[in-house]
A and B are shown apart, each in its own frame.
Chain A
């Protein structure tokens, strides 16, 4: 947990710096850190907010970047369904990538008894408390520190590099790598589209190209 928290802390710090150095106000950056609580969609939203893209494009992009959580939620459903809805949603909102990975590794099967349910929820809550703290404190520190760093240094670029790293980690099959390539080319070619619609065009082109390729390439292209 400690080396992982260090990674989250560094990521939170850079996200804080990147938000402010990209031109967001301190209030906006703090609101984003505390409310959105999803590093990759925050970082992806920054250039779109700065470019004043329409809200629906920003939200749709954030939704697509977050789609991995939809997959996690399907997996977590049997672990949480015995709880009332508000508690399921609090647990869900606070369970990010790392807590999901550690939780499902520690508990490969959902609990069946009252005691097991309590044990699992306690583990999950303790885990996301550590994750939340290691994200929020450095995030706030980054937002404050960013004011003392000259904008000409270009530290906001660390946010883009962070996205590059997440992108590489998600591109773990050949078809996903191809999907990333198609999206990158489409986003550049369609850059002149108004309202940042090049992002929407890029996602659509990449998903359709991957659908078309799925049946036409060897099966191992879909395997990690």
Chain B
């Protein structure tokens, strides 16, 4: 995965484009009206936030397959700063700015 284009990745990208079309058009692809079963409607409430947390947590908290082998790691501090700033400013943009403002000095200067 070092900058090489491969067919598998392009196929996955095409699949993800299909997922975009499917989810954005979900209820108006078919002509006749229809609804989801009640359990699926309930799952819609929780699955998106769960999927994001499931992807993000290991990216922030795991290193080489282990849970934070050292506390000298810029990622959890940056993610925490970003989350706090989100709840203060309600802006994803400020989350990135604040998180990178914590991450870059720790990562580049201290080598965390």
Contacts and interface: CB of A to CB of B under 8 A. Distances in A.
Interface of A: 6-7, 10-11, 14, 20, 23-28, 31-32, 35-38, 40-42, 44-45, 47-50, 52, 55, 58-59, 61-74, 76-77, 80-81, 85, 88-89, 92-93, 95-96, 152-155, 157-158, 160-171, 175-177, 179-188, 191-192, 198-199, 202-203, 206-207, 210-211, 214, 222
Contact of A72 (B11, B24, B99, B100): B24
Contacts of A68: 44, 48
Interface string B5-25: 100111111111101111111
Contacts of B5: 25, 27-28
A100 to B, nearest CB: 9
Nearest to A177: B49
A49 B24 CA distance: 23
Interface in B50-92: 50-62, 65, 67, 74-75, 78-79, 82-83, 86-87, 90-92
Nearest to A214: B42
Given A41-B19, A157-B78, A161-B79, A47 B55 contact: yes
B81 to A, nearest CB: 9
